[in-house]
Chain A
Amino acid sequence: MKTERCREWRDSLGAYALGHLSPEERAGIEAHLEGCAECRAEADSLALVSSLLPHADPERFGPPPQPPAELGDRIAARIGAERQAGRRRHRLRLGLASSGAVAAAAATALAVFVLAGDSGSGPEQHLAFRSLPPGVKIAATLEPRAFGTEIHMYVKGIRSGTLCRVFMRGPGGASISAGTFRYRWGGDAAAVLSSALDLSRAQALVVRAGDRTFVAPIGVSDTAMYDKTQEVTT
């Protein structure tokens, strides 16, 4: 129930929540809270808010940096491109399913379950290699370039110093080297490689890390690849 005494104490509840009251004032307000459920509920709720204050940095209460004006247009352009690429990819998928190229060639016997990482890729494509040994992560981003394809490789969890050879598989299963890199613990985030093969003609990305081979098909969506789990043998 709201009383005259409540009004008297209310204004001190903020300072109380922040621990700013003198011992006498604190004792007074606590005596009131003891007998007033309404003020007690208010005090509890303010205590919660005040418990969040230490997380904030008062130097950052000013206006935050603003994104560049053209970022919105850039995103809209990417989405437009992706919508178009989605249609193109659909056609590609139909072609790949009949050729069986994915199963064609690989170096060592290894069950791989590969699927494209991002379902809707635009001009650039993100590939993730799945069902890798525990703790190992391999991913790649492919970007179409005038000379062919630029490949950004991300590797994690393999032994430091391991030599990795990368190939792109083109139409008919022909492998075209995309170069080599050595994985170093704590090294740069991505190895940047290139291949003369056009991204639009590429069918798979093959990574040989040491004596193991990992394959990720290109231009195939998530859902299609769920049906394509397969044993890849020499």
Chain B
Amino acid sequence: MPPRALIRERDVREAYAAHAAELYGFAVRSLGDSGLAEEAVQETFLRAWRAGERFDPQIGSLRTWLFAILRNVVIDLGRARAARPTLAEGGVEPSVEPLDEALLAWQVEEAMRRIGEQHRRVLVETYYRGRPYAEVAEELGVPEGTVKSRVYYGLRALRVVLEEMGYED
């Protein structure tokens, strides 16, 4: 059963066990530094705990909520790191677009990790490496129709996993 709110220290421990690895993975990906990523994950759980009463599973999953907090933490860390007075110099606020792009990239990459190896393999070979179906079929020792079929079921599996992760288009 998902926690109703993140109030007790035990709730935080459970949330950590379930989501810390993924949050950390994204933090490393977007910050490019394991030390900063640890800091970001720590700050994320501290903020989650402080705001624990406001978490409402009716609105969204715990995972989505934690990622939203992490996103803000990464923005804050990025700003502190850059600390450039862009406004005074006539510039604009640092864009969060690269971060949101990274977040989307992470979702798709995580979904790819969660689908079966066979499905991931054909998507990587045919889509990302752009190899002909016949060639991939020969390498895998299966008929070409099987590769085609795995591409279809791979995309379907990806769709299911993305839905489970709370992706909304």
| Co-complex (A, B) | yes
- Give the interface of A toward B (CB within 8 A): 10-15, 17-18, 20, 45-46, 48-50, 52-53, 55-58, 60-68, 71-72, 74-76, 78-80, 82-83, 118-120, 122, 134-136, 139, 154-160, 183, 185-190
State in angstroms the CA–CA spacing of A35 and B25 once bound together: 45
Contact sample, A vs B, 20 pairs, CB 8 Å cutoff: A10-B152, A14-B152, A14-B153, A17-B155, A20-B133, A46-B156, A48-B159, A53-B108, A58-B124, A60-B105, A61-B113, A75-B42, A83-B9, A120-B46, A135-B85, A135-B88, A155-B85, A156-B86, A159-B85, A189-B83
| Contact indicator per residue, chain B 59-101, by CB within 8 Å of chain A (1) or not (0) | 0000000000000000000011111111111000000000001
CA–CA, A134 and B93, complex, Å: 13
CA distance A158 to B42 in the complex (A): 30
In the complex, besides A48-B169, A60-B105, A68-B38, 4 extra interface pairs with C-beta distance below 8 angstroms are A155-B83, A156-B79, A157-B85, A160-B89
- Which A residues are CB-close (under 8 A) to B169? 48
CA distance A48 to B29 in the complex (A): 24
Closest-CB distance, A114 to chain B (whole angstroms) = 19
Partner of B25, one of A64, A72, A118, A135: A64
Interface of B is mostly: helix
Cβ A67 vs Cβ B50 within 8 A? no
Expressed in whole angstroms, the minimum distance between the Cβ of A23 and any Cβ of chain B is 16
Most buried by B among A53, A56, A57, A158: A56
Instruction: Tell me, in angstroms, the Cα distance from A49 to B153 when the chains sit together.
Output: 12
**Chain B interface bracket (under 10, 10 to 19, 20 to 34, 35 or more):** 35 or more
CB distance from B166 to the nearest CB of A (A): 14
Q: How far is the CB of B165 from the nearest CB of chain A, in Å?
A: 12
A157 CA to B13 CA, complexed, in Å: 39
**Min CB distance, B78 to chain A, in Å?**
10
- Residues on A with C-beta less than 8 A from B80 are 139, 154, 189-190
Give the docked Cα–Cα distance between A185 and B158 (Å): 45
- B55 near A: Cβ within 8 Å? no
**B21 contacts A by Cβ under 8 Å:** yes
**Known A11-B148, A55-B105, A58-B124; contact A75-B112, beta-carbon cutoff 8 A:** no
The smallest C-beta distance from B40 to any residue of chain A, in angstroms, reads: 10
CB distance from A122 to the nearest CB of B (A): 8
* CB atoms of B105 and A50 under 8 A apart: no
The smallest C-beta distance from A216 to any residue of chain B, in angstroms, reads: 16
The 5 A-B residue pairs with the shortest CB-CB distance in the complex, in nearest-first order:
A14-B152, A64-B25, A135-B87, A56-B108, A14-B151
